[in-house]
Amino acid sequence: MSHPDYSLEQALHAQGHLRIAGVDEVGRGPIAGPVTAAAVILNPDAIPPGLNDSKKLTARRRETLDQLLRDSAEFAIAHASVAEIDEINILRASHLAMQRAVAALDPAPDFLLIDGNMIPAGLTLPSRAVIGGDARSVSISAASIMAKTRRDRMMVDLAQQHPGYGWERNAGYPTKSHKEALQNLGVTPHHRHSFKPVHNILYQEKYLSD
């Protein structure tokens, strides 16, 4: 099984790009909570071992790597809210979160490696979209890890305010128990109204009240 490495970054260094940020987002699939992005510039002399796509790592390993990255890398983490997701759609909201994370890096990077097949329209820096980037570039995998750990913590905090939906376990994804809780407990302010399981319940409630 292949692991991400620093070869994309090294090739860019050879072209004169010194501040290369990996950019990734998490949270496109959940029906609750924000979408979160991170932009990370690794220190080539202090790359934590074991970086990988955050989905391939245990929660404990992600937390360990997140702390190592906080100690060694430059990073910024940003979000797009549930209201923004419902207003402009999840793809554009995830791009907005990426733009915000990149904009928060100071000084700015001079090249971006972005996970996926699209470069967000609002990013004007030199960039490359890398399909499956979190399994190819350690900078992107670092962004994946930092975004996921931050978002997961946010969902644990929100779970304390809205118990019963299991957000501390499912991070807002539409698991069977989450959808059952949605039916039994109703829609919270942190649910995405434009997503089908939530939209259907809101429609049922409107239909019954009419």
Binding-site residues from annotation:
24-25, 115
Which are the contacts of 78, defined by CB distance < 8 A and separation ≥ 6? Answer: 36, 37, 38, 97, 98, 99, 100, 101, 103, 104
CA nearest neighbour of 136 among 19, 37, 17, 56 = 56
Distance CA 128, CA 173 (A): 29
- Residue 162, φ and ψ in degrees, nearest 5: -135, 75
Distance CA 174, CA 165 (A): 10
Which residues participate in the annotated binding site for a divalent metal cation?
A: 24-25, 115
